[in-house]
Amino acid sequence: LRLPPGNVLEIPMNLLRSASASVDYVQGRATISRSGDSSKGVERGQVLQEGDQLQLDPDAFVTVRLADGSSVRVQANSELTLRQLRRRGRAGSLQSVLELQQGGVEVDVPGRRDATRTLDVLTPVAATSVRGTRFEVQASAQGTAAAVERGRVVMGARQHPDTARPLAAGYGMAVRTDGQASAPPRPLPPPPP
């Protein structure tokens, strides 16, 4: 098999090395489910793998540390799946996809410049992609809302990727369950005094 110079090889994501995550903090009752296994309680220091599903009770709170140092705070009454945790190459920039079925997450991504590293948060109706920022995503029966505290994210409807819009720090937006943005990005209210 000969490859002429200049050809591009694309390697499917499922053939790349997998990465892991770990539980930094647990408060209240949270469970983890792995394919083929029954659910069990989440414990501090526990290693999480691609495909793991977290379910948090109304009084629970869990912080997950991804391999690139990103911190994901899973809020009470949430369901989150670690859909993809992959590394590219030997040094391995991390490609992470988190799927939030309900509830909320607050994500803090280190600000190191790496154009190949990505972290996506998917909900039933929206997709949010981020690099070097801090933001929050909430999924409910009405749709998905995102708010950016630091940095920038891109948010759009999953069914209509061409609707993705940048969100700067201090702004938020929502996507309704029909896949439409409810309004253009709006400034967040000031913090209470």
**pLDDT tens digits along 47-56:** 999 899 999 9
Query: Residue 44: what are its φ and ψ, rounded to 5°?
Result: -60, 135
Report if pTM > 0.85: no
Each of the 193 residues of the chain gets a pLDDT tens digit; together they read 677 888 777 666 566 566 779 999 999 999 999 876 778 999 999 999 989 999 999 999 999 999 888 899 999 999 999 998 887 665 556 788 999 999 999 998 876 655 556 788 999 999 888 766 888 999 999 899 999 988 888 888 888 877 788 888 999 989 888 888 877 888 988 877 7
User: Exposed/middle/buried for 130, CB within 10 Å: 0-12, 13-18, 19+?
Assistant: buried
